Amino acid sequence: MNNVTTLQVRVKDADGYCRNWDDVLATLTFADEKDAETCGRILADAGYLVMRNYAPGCWITVFSTAEINEFPFECACGERYTKVEYARTCRKCRTYLGRNHHEVIDLRTGEEAA
């Protein structure tokens, strides 16, 4: 399998943090990225900390539905914002990409935001 998606599941403590990063509850591997995203969202909604492999050695957090509804717009660098305008003028994108990056994804639909 070339294009597999791996999820690591950890338990959060009462404060909502994961204090022991070595304590992995489960590692799940999926051939289909959509299945991994669906499973990750279900686990995040249930209160688990879910990390998804993004690139070799690089992991990103799978956010719960509530977090996505609160911050639905994602800019090119992966930061999440409450409004499209904020995502389009992301400071990190300007700094590291050297310009404003106008591609913003609405995480609720998976489509590019208007």
Report the C-alpha gap between 36 and 18 in whole angstroms: 21
**Could you tell me how many residues make up the chain?**
114
pLDDT for residue 84: 92
Closest CA to 5 of 50, 45, 37: 37
What pLDDT, on the 0 to 100 scale, is given for residue 1? Answer: 45
Task: Divide the 114 residues of the chain into consecutive groups of 10 and give the mean pLDDT of each group.
Answer: 78 74 85 87 88 77 84 85 90 75 82 85
Determine the pLDDT at residue 82: 93
Specify the pLDDT at position 83: 93
Question: Which DSSP category does 25 fall into?
Answer: S
pLDDT at 96: 77
CA Rg value for the chain = 15
Q: What is the DSSP letter of 2?
A: -
